[in-house]
Structure 1
Amino acid sequence: MPRPLTAAVAAALTALLLAACVPERAQITPSDDSVPTSIPSTTASSGLDVYDQTVDWSACGVLECATIQVPVDWTDPTGPTTDLAINRSAATDPANRIGSLLINPGGPGGSGLDLTEYFVSSAGEDLLAAYDVIGFDPRGVGQSSPLQCGDADVIDTYYLTDLVLETEGAIEDARQATVDFAAGCRELSGPLIENVDTTSAARDMDVIRALLGDDELYYLGFSYGTQLGATYAALYPENVGRMVLDGAVDFLLDGEQVAIEQAEGFERSLGNFAEWCLASADDCPLTGTVEQAKAQVKEIALHARDTGYQNSDGDRVNGNELVYGIVVTLYDEGSWPYLSAALQEVADRGTADIFFQLANFYLDKDSSSGEYLSNSMWSFTAIGCLDGPVSEPTTVDSLADFTAQISQASPTFGWWFAGSLGCDGWPWEAKEPVTSLEATADAAPILVVGTTNDPATPYSWAESLTERLGDATLLTYDGEGHTAYGRSNQCIIDAVDGYLVDGEMPVSGTTC
């Protein structure tokens, strides 16, 4: 299943075909004595050494950066440690500062360091005045002892090869490919690959909280970041301060149900795109009804799988790449013109250069060199497969049954969702998975935000996660796209900031 992207990634699509810019994050020596070089640590009741560190901040562009240590394996908390990279944007009103607000962009595999600068450009002024905004790359991600799984050719072969899984032999080959890929990751990444699960990342967040001097965790998580936040609340309910979960992932649902409901979400969003496109008359490359337009998109995707399109360099754009190029534009309605332009190119010239660029944007891959710009793809796999419940090995019959169900839910994308074995063959599972949220009954109230037409994290997940959490309120954004805060409207900003800054929970049932 495709990885939910973050609000920052969706917004950045506006610059996709124009330019790319990554803020400098290298630590440098502060040139201003006003920049603090360290903060006092808080010792946890557990007495673990990792709670006794000193955080040494240094300037990195407009932010401050630091690296702390956390246990590689939280079941052996006094054993070897690994790096965790964090950054900070200081509160604009230090006299009325509440504390530190940890943020997470989702994925799993998204870089919290990358999110911070975007976040402070889009968040509400009251929130930025009251909190130091703290970004962090979760263990194994980005600059936090990043997982490695091979060069670009290895990654391309594993993620971009179009598979037709119609025989037991094809299924066994796909399973063995996962076994071999995981073995390569283990060889290059060491034991960390077995310990990048969400429970471990949540325990890391408690270390961050303590080292920043906060008695409670203030937190805003997007997409997969909602799973991370809910997991923290289950592990440390007494430490939860004000927590907002935007674009909820109900990670306690059955895996097949998650895939089917997400496929439905993308099908619905594609239909909404088609309706918008057809209303633009001569400017739309699709024709007929909404259902006919979606069928045309499916035909293009299947042609890419079976025959392929060329990009401007003469390289083949296959089915996986073309669907990635479609999916990435459905995270925000502001990106729909890119999908229209890509479809128009296929119709006019029979090439798929725009789809190729869009797919590489999704993959965080440089279109010119073919090199991956981050490790988000394989981090997504490593984290998600550790978290996922162990299921029975896939067979021709079980895959055929799943294909029938998901194709009914999503006629356009069902074949694509069924073209992978997911985590079948991944050799490890989380050592301390959170399988219940009952403990959150002892946590402070939590605000869940759901978007009615969210393709990646359907609104129904926001409803069910709200019900699972001990004391939670659901805030609804009636609109398109993935997540709401910072990309929807002022109503959402006011409601979220009202809770995080003033402690005023929105009235249950509030819709923006």
Structure 2
Amino acid sequence: MRAAALYPAAGALLLTTLSTAPAGGVPNAAAGSGVAAAGSGVAVAAARAAQEGIVFGPCPGAQELSAAMQCGTVTVPLDYARPDGRKIRLTVSRVRATQRDPHNSKRRVPRQGALVFNPGGPGASGLPFPMIGQLPAWKRIGAAYDLVGYDPRGVGRSAPLSCQEPRHFFKAPSPAPTHPSEAYKRERIAAAKAYARGCAERAGSALRHYNSLNNARDLDVVRAALGERQLTFMGASYGTYFGALYATLFPAHVRRMVFDAAVNPDPAQVWYRNNLDQSVAFESRWTDFREWIARHDDVYGLGATAERVLRSYERARARLAAEPAGGKVGPGQLQGAFLQAGYYDDFWPSRAEALSAYLKGDPEPLVQLASPAREAAAEAENANAVYTAVECNDAPWPTDFRVWDRDNTRLARVAPFETWDNVWLNLPCAYWPAPRQKPLDVRTGPGELPPTLILAAERDAAAPYDGALEMHRRLTGSVLVTERDSGTHGIAGGPNRCVNGHLEAYLLEGRLPVRRAACAPHAEPRPADRPGKAAARARS
């Protein structure tokens, strides 16, 4: 993405050069015929699902979920080109519409059907979503809609995918060099090759079927199983991408769609160049965070300028490299904790306080904040496996590490914070054993699709703002609502009343602004009132 409002000028100019990098890889030559055959398979699977419906009952692991929430399963083909072949089951969750006005309990609200949600990833579980109706910002929507979440294929309780033993997934403490040595690069290349082999060995021939097109097809089968003639859908982050694929494949099946934190659906961007752009955007958001810390130097003592805060951070990295905090937190864990703050600014106070305490001699807040949660290893490994499989399967990637090395060495000169970690996350795609697809050209013409709502924060790092602009251009009749000068990744139902007003007007009444609309940013987080307070909240 090259929006001047989002990125430093040097980074923007650099990405203009990087956009010419060869994508490499070999797309599936039979993509056109494969899509057509799969389309027939979707019709068959949807018809069966409509007839079978979903038998809802208690949810697995119900002790962790709301008593009002129920779960069931939907059967889909592993391969839509062979709808009578191997099947997998997707686990679906639901809380029924309350049909009660939250402001007047005596007033009944008409039910408008099911609102299906995907939180993105790829690899994130949507099962907990229906519980969001308990929050004040969602009560009006939960009154009118059955709130429906699900685990996409490969995730959680839906034919889970794995690429390595979960107990080996967390490696802590770990380094996170911003300018890695040649020896370190060789180590990571070997690890990426091993991970790709592990995915193939564990999934076998099924591996190629974990992709975004199948996620979009699965969504249509879920729609049919719910008894919905048309789909009302909200996707966040990656969920906007396969939501856009759905809109392109099944425009007549769309009732309303919300794209929150839209990613760039341009086939030339999916996924290698999107990741380059993301690294630049995280650098800008990292600067935003450091400037906020500097404005509160009286609280944290990390420096009165962004540059001085960076020196404090680098001092902590060096100290953790020499002696990991609690034996668990090295530079990699520190970087991971601060990367989360690039997604959500409500993480800023706890991260700033933990860094401040560590540099003043108290490592405990940082250990509590950044140590790997070993009990979550299986869930984290599963999410990473699905993320890798979907992104590697979706599109061509460079197969020569020299391309990655060239592009990211250049990029790290202006955007060192996230660049190389992004490489190591995605590098298995260079050695991927399954066929790569040619991405679908997301595009709808006038009258093909009902009006849709796109929500975007102007300084979103994980889904840079140019992606929302591109989505808006490609989905004719869509309306873009921007939260200005904000970087929260996903803004629906958050603290911004202006954004929520547009969301409610659309979902409840079908109303959209005539043109693009903008909302003022939500308030910045406030620093901890006294030392220890933010860290205590993070541990609770």
Q: Give TM-score scaled by structure 2 length.
A: 0.77
The reply on whether 1:406 has 2:411 as its aligned counterpart is yes
Identity between Structure 1 and Structure 2 (%): 28
Structure-2 residue corresponding to 1:456: 462
Structure-2 residue corresponding to 1:344: 356
Structure-2 residue corresponding to 1:436: 441
Structure-2 residue corresponding to 1:376: 383
Taking the TM superposition and a 5 Å limit, the aligned residue runs for 1:107-506 are: 107-118=121-132, 120-156=134-170, 166-167=181-182, 174-252=188-266, 253-254=268-269, 255-301=271-317, 304=320, 307-312=321-326, 315-349=327-361, 351=363, 353-359=364-370, 366-367=373-374, 371-374=377-380, 375-395=382-402, 398-418=403-423, 422=427, 423-431=429-437, 433-439=438-444, 441=446, 442-478=448-484, 479-506=486-513
Amino acid at match of 2:504: D
Structure 1 contact 450–476 (Cα < 8 Å) conserved:
yes
How well do the aligned residues superpose, as a CA RMSD in angstroms? Answer: 2.8
| 1:476 Cα offset (Å) | 0.8
Structure 1 contact 260–409 (Cα < 8 Å) conserved:
no
Structure 1 contact 44–210 (Cα < 8 Å) conserved:
no
1:424 to 1:300, Cα distance in 2 relative to 1, 3 A? farther
Q: Matched residues in 2 for 1:221 and 1:198: separation?
A: 13
1:308 to 1:147, Cα distance in 2 relative to 1, 3 A? farther
| 1:366 Cα offset (Å) | 2.4
Structure 1 contact 390–429 (Cα < 8 Å) conserved:
no
Amino acid at match of 1:133: L
1:381 to 1:418, Cα distance in 2 relative to 1, 3 A? closer
Structure-2 residue corresponding to 1:57: 56
Q: Matched residues in 2 for 1:281 and 1:359: separation?
A: 22
Structure-2 residue corresponding to 1:14: none
The reply on whether 1:508 has 2:515 as its aligned counterpart is yes
Structure 1 contact 294–412 (Cα < 8 Å) conserved:
no
Q: Give TM-score scaled by structure 1 length.
A: 0.81
Deviating more after overlay: 203-212 vs 480-489: 480-489
Query: SS of the residue aligned with 1:134?
Result: strand
Structure 1: gaps (5+ residues): 1-42
Q: Matched residues in 2 for 1:118 and 1:68: separation?
A: 22
Amino acid at match of 2:280: E
Count of equivalent residues:
456
Query: SS of the residue aligned with 1:107?
Result: coil
Q: Matched residues in 1 for 2:130 and 2:322: separation?
A: 38
Query: SS of the residue aligned with 2:135?
Result: helix
Deviations 1:290-335 (Å, cap 9, x if unpaired)?
A: 133234324534664xx254233xx242332221111112322221
Deviating more after overlay: 62-71 vs 484-493: 484-493
Deviating more after overlay: 182-191 vs 53-62: 182-191
Q: Matched residues in 2 for 1:500 and 1:98: separation?
A: 9
Structure 2 contact 458–483 (Cα < 8 Å) conserved:
yes
Structure 1 contact 231–434 (Cα < 8 Å) conserved:
no
Structure 2: gaps (5+ residues): 1-41, 60-66, 100-107, 520-540
| 1:50 Cα offset (Å) | 4.5
Q: Matched residues in 2 for 1:418 and 1:44: separation?
A: 38
| 1:251 Cα offset (Å) | 3.5
| 1:430 Cα offset (Å) | 5.0
